[in-house]
Amino acid sequence: MSAVSHSTPAPLSHREAAERVRAELARRFAELEGWLDAPPATWNARASEGGWSVAEICEHVVLANRFLLLLAQKIAGRGARRAARGLTPPPQASDLSLLAALESREFRWSRPDHMAPGGRIGRGELRTQLMEQREQCSSLTTAVGSGAGALHRIRMTVVGERLDLHQMLGFVAMHLARHLEQIERIAAGADSPRAAREPPA
């Protein structure tokens, strides 16, 4: 299932975009938090030797979110300062079509070493951090709704584009969705040989 919609026929207002990405993020975070209650056999399962386990995937998502939300906060802060100086946001929210390629299982992101899981975060701390990150995302959508989040962009090498706040939060939702699908495949024991290799970030 797609993490975000890329086929909306009409552009969205900033408020509509904020509502959509807020709902998508809330749903994806709730799904991932649900996996923290998995029994040990599932929690430690991995697609194949060398692949990440469910536990390691959850840790990776938390580590990646730390980095992505720092960038999102930077966009929001600079956008707010520009709005305070009187800059006017574009009339409509940015679209998320430039994220479409990242949803493919064929896509590989060479994630930085600091996003690699190391078994250092237990389930309780993972739950705490995911809850905090979910609240942080919800707070950031306020800047999407006001339009201020569209007043600054940051270049994301993995996308090859500069992203505003709406697009950055869409990226977070897409990243969550990719790894949720991976966890579901592992839990079902139905991973393909291609997917059994080290997962994308």
- 148 in Cβ contact with 142 (< 8 Å): no
Quote the tokens at residue 37. Answer: 């209650």
pLDDT tens per residue, range 118-147: 888 999 999 999 999 999 999 999 999 999
- What confidence score (pLDDT) does residue 194 get? 42
Return the percentage of the chain with pLDDT > 90, whole number. 69
| Residues linked to residue 53 through DSSP beta bridges, in sequence order | 46
Containing H/E element for 179? helix 165-188
- 180 in Cβ contact with 199 (< 8 Å): no
Task: Answer yes or no: pTM beyond 0.75.
Answer: yes
**What Cα–Cα distance (Å) separates residue 21 from each residue in 88, 119, 156, 183?**
22, 30, 19, 22
